[in-house]
Amino acid sequence: MDVLSVNLEHCFGIESLNYEFDFTKGNVFAVYARNGLMKTSFAKVFKKLQMSKSKEIRDEIFGIDGNAEVKCDGMDIAPENIFVIKSFENSYQADITSLLINEDIKTRLKDVLKARDKFLKALEKDSELKIKKTSSGKTVFELEPTIILDFGFEESSLLVNVLSFRGQAPEVDFSSIPYQRIFDAGVIRKINSAEFQSKIRDYISRSEEIYSSYAFLSKGNLTLPKLKNVHKSLKNEKYFSQGNKIFLAESGNIENIDELSAKIEEVEGHLRTVPEFQEIEKLLSDAKGTQLRDIIEVNPDIVEWLTIERLPELKKCLWLSYIQKNSILYEDLCDKYETLSREIDNVDLDDTPWKKALEIYDKRFSVPYKMEIENLKGAIIGESIPRVVFSFTNGKDMKKLSRDELDDLDVLSQGEKRALYLLNIIFEIEKIKNSGCEALFIVDDIADSFDYKNKYAIVEYLYEIAQNDKYSMIVLSHNFDFYRTISSRLGLKRENRLCANIKDGSVCFVQEFYQNQPFIQWKKHPNEQNIIAMIPFVRNLVEYGRDMHVAVPGDDETNNDYSLLTTLLHEKAETNNMRFLDLNELYSTYLGIDRFETSVDLNKKIMDTLYEICDAITIEHSELENKVLLSMAIRHKAEAFMKKEIREYTGQITWRVNRRTNNTGTSNQFLLAIESKANQTRELLNGYKQFGENAKIGTIEEVAIMTPENIHLNSFMYEPIMDMDIAELISLYRQCKMLN
């Protein structure tokens, strides 16, 4: 795969997106996108394409049909070449069948499945039950599940149970009677009715009298149905051709097949004259009843099987009749299956792709269980879903649980549940590897909410996948830390590191501006915007290094470079008087910046410039420096408002001195007391909440949530502030301006 062209319109919230991923320079792209922008919608589109459900792609909120044109090297991408990895699906289970067998078994399995299909088609014809049918738009398998249910097989597989029919013969040959015509829902309701069942019992009682009038018949031994079977065998074997005869008690010698036919017709004629038989036929006068009456007319001996007690026997008798009728196809299937079964019994799971996938998993994740396949034979032949059993041990005892039991007990931690989900993803990927096909992986925040150990384990696995030239990958994340880790560990080139943005309502991808530390770029270009963005960075250098009293000479611990820079992060008495000139020597000493860019007016006030820049920021300007500047401006606006309101307040304010002590005083006393507090914004809010308006308190509480100590910490660990939504920061900034 060289080039992937993506053109989306009205796709699950993406109004439009048009981009060409060029994989010739690297087979992995990392895309950073803030929450709610496009990430999940993008993955959802590809999931629909993977499932061949492109018609379901749409704008769900506004009900607009979507258009998703995705081409690989100029051709529509094939569903089998797409694999979407979601962040987490609790109940997700991979089909690991193909990982359990080698190529020899796969070849033999194909032969077995062909024989099975021929056999099923014969049963379908005789029973009139469909192998599969469409019901309410869904595919429903009918024939096999019915057989399995009627015989009470535990394993939901016809093949696994196919040998159990050997040696079984139907008590009566009912192969000419379609199963569906008797066990149709409407017919079976009529059969189960009290009136119908009463007439059947009366008929059985009367028929016994007729049986007793024929000495050659014996109830429970040689019944009329069995005599008909004898008739069929004698006819097929041409028994009478050499003058052979049979002797029927009190009826003498029967010298040809016609005489035997006549004798059988005589008995059947008597049975039909029984009033109860005629009453049964009368009950079957409607459409559904006619279907059953036609069967009874041709096979009057089936009436005795229509009692509620014997219906389960009738079901088995019908199936065995069909199997006997198609004995050649059945025996061929049995022979092929026996050979396959012996090979499966000799499968060494330690030498299968499934085991190799487990080893990949075990190397990376620590979980409290071991796994094994409980229904290996049914899983391998694809007749039933592989049942993975989880074994737990406490050192003495061992407990085995199915996946459902494990989920019901809810004993796994969230981390272990996520690890189990990743195991199933590994199974799916190993299947793709074994297929030898090209694949496009869409990875949607797979490491979200994982601890760092597991996060790096995931990164290493993605790295291994990326080493295969057959695979291309687009990794999506709203977590800048994970995005940066992927970009670094997988060695992505500049062109393959993208950030998603919105422009004129459309999603667009642009190269990440900061390929390494953003501060390097800021130092190289000390313009007004970057100078202000570096204020928290420089303050951290002072805090964690040595305060050299560059701007504030002397040894005063409270009046130094750190406190000067703090006046630009919190509202202080000198905040609005600070100029770029005040930072010139500081930046030279701590950052090695000899001079600011010529466009910087050294006499211009820093706060005026900060607000000018923030007023012009739009959602298209999502660079880190803009988020830092907005966070600073938001805090200043909020603190300036609260200080003004508190100064004008004439009541008493209470503030905390230490863990056990509170003080109460005037607004000026309160402001003086918190001047040296570590978190000035929070302290001001605590004071303002004692008398302020609820709506304005709500706005400032949002300030405390969105712009806390991040501004300080993120000079070195800036990912959390990078993950903040630029639109939310702009909105909060505007709200804070309105406070004043």
Give the integer Cα–Cα distance in Å for 47 and 440: 11
Give the integer Cα–Cα distance in Å for 189 and 54: 43
Residue 384 lies in a domain: no
Residue 382 lies in a domain: no
* pLDDT attached to residue 738: 94
CA 434 from chain centre, in angstroms, equals 22
Residue 580 lies in a domain: yes
Enter the tokens of residue 692.
Answer: 């302020």
Q: How many domains does the chain have?
A: 3
The full DSSP string for 439-499 is: EEEEEESTTTT--HHHHHHHHHHHHHHHTSTTEEEEEEES-HHHHHHHHHHTT--GGGEEE
pLDDT < 70: residue spans in the chain: 89-104, 219-220, 348-350, 365-367, 373-387, 413-416, 448-453, 514-517, 554-558, 707-720
Give the integer Cα–Cα distance in Å for 640 and 572: 9
- H-helix or E-strand spanning residue 65: strand 64-65
* pLDDT attached to residue 123: 96
> Is there a single domain that holds both residue 301 and residue 441?
no
Residue 155 lies in a domain: no
- pLDDT, tens digit (0-9, with 9 covering 90-100), for 295-339: 877 787 788 899 999 999 999 999 999 999 999 999 999 999 898
Amino acid at 510: V
Give the integer Cα–Cα distance in Å for 609 and 314: 91
> Is there a single domain that holds both residue 506 and residue 522?
no
Enter the tokens of residue 437.
Answer: 């096909």
Half-sphere exposure of 229 (CA within 13 A, CB side): 17
Please state the three-class secondary structure of 617-660 as a single string: CCCCCCCHHHHHHHHHHHHHHHHHHHHHHHHHCCCCEEEECCCC
CA torsion through residues 567, 573, 574, 576, sign: positive
Enter the tokens of residue 48.
Answer: 């629909």
> Is there a single domain that holds both residue 556 and residue 618?
yes
CB atoms within 10 A of CB 137: 5
User: At CA 460, angle to CA 455 and CA 465, rounded to 5?
Assistant: 125
> Is there a single domain that holds both residue 550 and residue 642?
yes
Do 386 and 475 contact (CB within 8 A), yes or no? no
Give the integer Cα–Cα distance in Å for 701 and 695: 10
> Is there a single domain that holds both residue 524 and residue 647?
yes
Residue 18 lies in a domain: yes
Q: How far is CA 706 from CA 183, 509, 702, in A?
A: 67, 26, 6
> Is there a single domain that holds both residue 466 and residue 543?
no
Do 160 and 144 contact (CB within 8 A), yes or no? no
- pLDDT, tens digit (0-9, with 9 covering 90-100), for 127-144: 999 998 887 777 788 999
Among 279, 307, 335, the domain-final residue is: 307
Q: Which domain CATH number covers 77?
A: 3.40.50.300
Residue 347 lies in a domain: no
Q: Which residues have CB under 8 Å from 721's CB, separation 6+? A: 624, 627, 628, 631, 710, 711, 714
CA torsion through residues 577, 580, 581, 585, sign: positive
Do 159 and 383 contact (CB within 8 A), yes or no? yes
> Is there a single domain that holds both residue 71 and residue 46?
yes
> Is there a single domain that holds both residue 479 and residue 562?
no
> Is there a single domain that holds both residue 594 and residue 720?
yes
Do 721 and 625 contact (CB within 8 A), yes or no? no
Give the integer Cα–Cα distance in Å for 124 and 700: 72
* pLDDT attached to residue 295: 83
Provide the 3-class DSSP secondary structure of residue 72.
Answer: strand
> Is there a single domain that holds both residue 485 and residue 563?
no
Do 462 and 442 contact (CB within 8 A), yes or no? no
Residue 506 lies in a domain: yes
Give the integer Cα–Cα distance in Å for 32 and 48: 22
Pairing type for strands 653-656 and 64-65 reads unpaired
Identify the bridge partners of residue 477 per DSSP, sorted by sequence position: 32
* pLDDT attached to residue 393: 83
Please state the three-class secondary structure of 90-154 as a single string: CCCCCCCHHHCCCHHHHHHHHHHHHHHHHHHHHHHHHHCCCCEEEECCEEEECHHHHHHHHHCCC
Pairing type for strands 64-65 and 58-59 reads antiparallel
Enter the tokens of residue 16.
Answer: 């439009």
Q: Which residues form the domain of 42?
A: 3-88+437-511
Residue 390 lies in a domain: no
Amino acid at 220: G
> Is there a single domain that holds both residue 604 and residue 623?
yes
Beta strands in 365-422 (DSSP E): 370-373, 388-393, 398-401
Give the integer Cα–Cα distance in Å for 117 and 105: 18
Among 453, 479, 511, the domain-final residue is: 511
Among 478, 511, 544, the domain-final residue is: 511
Give the integer Cα–Cα distance in Å for 507 and 509: 7
Give the integer Cα–Cα distance in Å for 653 and 635: 22
Give the integer Cα–Cα distance in Å for 374 and 390: 10
Amino acid at 518: P
Q: How far is CA 461 from CA 31, 364, 420, 441, 565, in A?
A: 18, 9, 15, 13, 44
CA 472 from chain centre, in angstroms, equals 21
Do 443 and 40 contact (CB within 8 A), yes or no? no
Largest interatomic CA distance in the chain: 138
Q: How far is CA 24 from CA 433, 494, 509, 643, 734, in A?
A: 21, 13, 18, 58, 44
Do 95 and 411 contact (CB within 8 A), yes or no? no
Give the integer Cα–Cα distance in Å for 449 and 452: 9
* pLDDT attached to residue 731: 93
Give the integer Cα–Cα distance in Å for 398 and 554: 72
> Is there a single domain that holds both residue 486 and residue 537?
no
